[in-house]
Structure 1
Amino acid sequence: MGVDSGLPDFRGTEGFWRAYPPYRALGLAFEELADPVHFADDPGLAWGFYGHRLELYRTTVPHAGFGVLLEWSRRRQARVFTSNVDGQFQRAGFADDVVAECHGSIHHLQCLAGCGQPVWSADGVAVQVDTATMRADPPLPACPRCGAVARPNILMFGDRSWEPGRSQVALEAHQAWLRSLRAEGVRPAVVELGAGTAVPTVRRQAELASAASGALVRINVREPEVRHGRGVGLAAAAAQTLLALDPLVRGADPAPATRR
């Protein structure tokens, strides 16, 4: 979904290294950098990667497909379930309380020392990164309570210290919404965008949510197959496909929804 806005594609080591050449020289893959151990062992390296991403996500303008989804959400009941940590849905205009971020958000921080400080916003936090070495210069983001190094409130690989509370509230609201639809006899249509199979969280959620209706539209350049046989797979990019579907959806939509 984010690639069409110009964000780097982290799937595959070569793609990651094209986006971040210094890591090729170090022989570090995305999975190795996205590991919470670096914040304790080498926080300059860790914040070099995440600080660069934080600034990139802040300055990236969401592509027109986000606007299509936002307009659909204004006409029908709709919510977002995403494994992206970039905050692009909120930047595009979606309210924070309708976006369930199952892997957390780079726009929120937590204390590395686990001192009890609640998760806090990264607004106003600036990280200076040397793009030649991809290392962050001090001072690094710190916990406002105890002064320990802070880390993004993101579920990383092999992560046992992620604080899920903020994300869990939205995830529980999302599941409650799905249950209310089932109770009302409403069969949801699910539009799945770019969800891969390496970490299949979003794909599984999409298949479960659309199981009763079979109304799953899987938009995926690399892996569009709907193996469970209930839905449609489109091997195409997110932005162009949403823009192409928009007039069809609008033409079939009789009236705006009365509630979200």
Structure 2
Amino acid sequence: MDKNYLERAAREIDRAGAILIAAGAGMGVDSGLPDFRGDKGFWKAYPQLKDEGVSFMDLANPEWFLSDPERAWGFYGHRFMLYQSAKPHEGFQILQKWGSRKLVKPFVFTSNVDGHFQKAGFDPGSVYECHGSINYLQCANNCSRAIWSFPKLTFEIGADLRAKGKLPTCPKCGFVARPNILMFGDWSWNKVRSDQQEIAFRAWKRQAMNHRLVAIEIGAGKNIPTVRMSAESMNCTLIRINLRDADKGRRVIPISGKALDVLERLEQLFI
């Protein structure tokens, strides 16, 4: 972890009038969440699927809710329980502290579907979950544009990672429901909630551009570069925190390391 980069980053954060937090899966690792990086990472989290040769890309597909909903809900139900039981790490509070000092309240752009920014106390109106949220459901048959909250599981999950019991259903048509998450090959994802968040993000950007803006990108991968591209598009100083891919670039301050470790190191520079 380069001390010069840390000091530069701390200066930029201190001088900023507005902060964008752009977070990928690496943000949740310090909370005990898997990042599913490659098939090996996925199978480490779900060893029962290794022998079947089922990858994350295979299983994160809406077709399972139509052809084998017990298998689909076994996987997504387990993820839901994992995200619900995990506690957001202290790095979330550090980011909140920095944001509270600014002229414009911070905004979060994230590909994470765990809802941990809201759980950590961030304003839900200042979070754009570009891939949706596991805490909300939609009809798997896409019978309407309805989206509803998902407070708890109504079924159990067996050792074979299959759901056993009453699966969530659509209140309008009675068909099986699915998480309101963008999956692979997903033409039926209901974007209504995400589109509303995007409108809020655009309004925030118009306000933030009138101030000295800094983007803090944390744990965003390259395979699906949505978060990285959004952070880079802000045309401002970008602090890139990444354990493996802290690449340099125009106006980029690269810091190699895990999210919590780097955020704590930066916070110490303000004490």
1:255 aligned residue: none
Q: 1-side partners of 2:35 and 2:244: how far apart?
A: 12
2:252 alignment partner AA: G
Aligned-pair CA distance for 1:118: 1.1
Q: 2-side partners of 1:8 and 1:113: how far apart?
A: 29
1:222 aligned residue: 244
Q: 2-side partners of 1:95 and 1:53: how far apart?
A: 23
1:65 alignment partner AA: G
Structure-to-structure mapping, 1:147-162, within 5 angstroms: 147-162=174-189
Q: Does the CA-based 8 Å contact 1:67-1:92 persist in structure 2?
A: yes
2:215 alignment partner AA: V
1:193 aligned residue: 218
What secondary structure is seen at the aligned counterpart in 2 of 1:202? Answer: helix
| More displaced 10-residue stretch of structure 1: 200-209 or 168-177 | 168-177
1:202 paired with 2:230, answer no
Structure-to-structure mapping, 1:109-188, within 5 angstroms: 109-116=137-144, 118-130=146-158, 132-182=159-209, 184=210, 186-188=211-213
What secondary structure is seen at the aligned counterpart in 1 of 2:184? Answer: coil
Aligned-pair CA distance for 1:155: 0.3
Aligned-pair CA distance for 1:117: 5.5
Q: Does the CA-based 8 Å contact 1:47-1:127 persist in structure 2?
A: no
Which consecutive residues of structure 2, in runs of 5 or more, have no partner in the other structure? 1-26
Q: Does the CA-based 8 Å contact 1:112-1:150 persist in structure 2?
A: yes
Q: 1-side partners of 2:125 and 2:155: how far apart?
A: 27
Tell me the alpha carbon deviations over residues 51-73 of structure 1, each in whole angstroms, 9 at most, x when there is no partner.
Answer: 00001101100111011012122
> TM-score when scaled to structure 2?
0.87
Q: 2-side partners of 1:111 and 1:49: how far apart?
A: 17
Which consecutive residues of structure 1, in runs of 5 or more, have no partner in the other structure? 252-260
Regions of 4+ moved over 3 Å? 124-127
2:256 aligned residue: 235
Instruction: Select the structure that is richer in strand.
Output: 2
Q: Does the CA-based 8 Å contact 2:154-2:165 persist in structure 1?
A: no
Structure-to-structure mapping, 1:70-85, within 5 angstroms: 70-76=96-102, 77=104, 78-85=106-113
- Superposition RMSD on alpha carbons, in Å? 1.2
